[in-house]
A and B are shown apart, each in its own frame.
Chain A
């Protein structure tokens, strides 16, 4: 039984970069617990000893191309959907200390 508590859900929300209201936190705690419990209970029925995880159904590995520059988007195109740009850059919140 996973029985998530609200503190754990707050931590997950932080990892997921989601701001949730108290009401949403409460609702998600109930819903996530229900879904996870059901999932874990079901998965336990399948024996996976010595089974490798399947991550890729087509069996392809390392599809690479020659390391040569090819035409891409223009700077203007790349910036066109942002509200916060400056001199051809994306503006972001300050991450380095002034000092």
Chain B
């Protein structure tokens, strides 16, 4: 089968664009395989393994773009390459005041062209991300550093400089911020209000903000710090900077801090700083200790954090955490019994298929109470690690957004292909009772997750039914009515496909655990 190659010298496109073009090509008639990559050594090795590397591609350098296509015929391959050329030539519109097609090529020149800009959102490959962040800071811009694989030393130096100069450096590996009411990165449309959040987890910030929105409480600011901020080496630099800013921000009346349990010294510093302020401060060290310094209000899950925070807001008239949990307990007991009755005797296992680590982690914490040991590729304890992430065992919950699943493919928040394939794999396993899912809406995320997941759920459940089993699906949807995907519509579509949708991730995990306790 002929392989044809197109090499565009000195042409750069980001990874998402490359994958989209590749996907478009594979859908063309006669095309069996297509790769669209930058000519790095690692990518050429991938092409070689796939049998797509031709002699002319060997000469490609890391700044050159390679398109390789295997097709049934020569003309199919040629047409595919022509299509690739057309797709790659398309350039998106420029910004405000932009001329036909002319866009600044660097942060420096963009800052000159738009002096009113005050923030740079950086998502370039990790090897270059620190240099770009430096350029932005030197231009006096705040930075949302989405990129990961940034060396730790760079993170520390960048954050120190930022703090010294009164700038935010959110990241690296920071996917979410909501500043002045604007959703940055992967973030939701939530109302303005008196709660200020600083979070080391992007999805954690999303879940908390959405739950608060559902309780009628809005955000003043949602500051991201990046996943490593509370490690010893970084010392919580951005968590502390964010906390200090919110303590002084007149629009923030109640504060919420979110992180995985930090290094002890860092936790102490954060709690001390929190205690210095006079605003009620909720601290959610996911799965960490619930006994903290008395000056702060502890929360073990994002659900708890949202209720504890709302309760501190002046004028809040919604339920307290205890009331909410009591009602949940009552509803879920009845529901769990009803659902469990549909299972066959051999169906004993939970399979969680998650799109991100924070909600996966929260689910594991909640499930430990009911199910005990749950295996995972992001386990609570090393002994619970899944030996082979490709094969589930017993109770098992996967973070499909982890590195081992996302090499060379789009993240599950953007593309459901991997999750759907795994869903079908689990659905054929007669031991599986409950599939547990998270769906995260908002800007940046897939434009209509239910459109892809609901049909897949329907088919998977139908498949199981043909084999004489009821496959239970429990899900939560992180989002708001104002999100581009429309929360109610997404929930409706999922329920229409037979999923049971809980009001938040912690509740979904609790329901799944309850079903399996029967």
Q: Do A and B come from one complex?
A: no
